[in-house]
Amino acid sequence: TSLWMDQFYYVFGVTLIVFLLLCITCAEVTVVLVYYQLCAENHRWWWLAFFSSGSTAMYMFVYSFVWFGTLQPSTLISTYVLYFGYMFLVCFSMFLVTGAVGALTALWFVRKIFAAI
């Protein structure tokens, strides 16, 4: 809500800590899911790793619809186009970042466990 209500965070350390927690959580969840895929002898873990951690952005995009419903309605179509256009770009960027974190963590994990064989 701070992006749309002109409230800015001046404590960037808190924002950095929250971003690092997001990356750590995405990495851990992806490693667990890839491990289960490898235990089931499914060698196609690449896209699972990317989409499982990137799915956080889909939740964020759905939540943006819910949050937009709490605002006052507008008669201008440009309000809707701008809001959902920007939210799509923000969510797609988040999808790429968290997906890359998950895929790179899974690659590191798979290389580590197969190096031990």
Q: pLDDT tens digit string along 15-63?
A: 889 999 999 999 999 999 999 999 999 888 899 999 999 999 999 999 9
- Token digits for 76? 């201008």
61 within 8 A of 87, measured Cβ to Cβ: yes
Considering the entire predicted model, what is its pTM? Answer: 0.83
Identify the pLDDT of residue 2: 67
Identify the pLDDT of residue 43: 87
State the Cα angle at 43 between 42 and 44, rounded to 5°.
95
Q: Which has more confidence, 14 or 38?
A: 38
Residues of the chain with pLDDT > 90, as a percent, come to: 68
Identify the pLDDT of residue 69: 84
Which residues, in sequence order, are CB contacts of 64 under 8 Å at separation 6+? 83, 84, 87, 91
